[in-house]
Amino acid sequence: MARSTYIYLVNDGWGVVAAFTVKHELITWLRTNPSPEHCVRRMSDGGHTAGYTKIDITELLA
């Protein structure tokens, strides 16, 4: 099985509420648990790139 390159973290106003390594599972979770508070950040698995990249949720759910 192929290894994921990224870890997707879902934050609300308080902290991380979910984490995924498979993008389609993230999308399914976002559709099941909609909230305007959610913010998705992508981090390179293994720390090859420093920091996070913010992901536009509207593009994921389109």
What pLDDT score does 58 carry? 84
What pLDDT score does 10 carry? 96
Grade residue 50 by pLDDT with cuts at 50, 70 and 90. Answer: low
Computed over its alpha carbons, how large is the radius of gyration of the chain? 11
Which region, left, alpha or beta, applies to residue 46 given φ > 0 means left and ψ of -120 to 50 means alpha?
left
Confidence check: pLDDT of 2 > 80: no
What pLDDT score does 12 carry? 92
Confidence check: pLDDT of 1 > 60: no
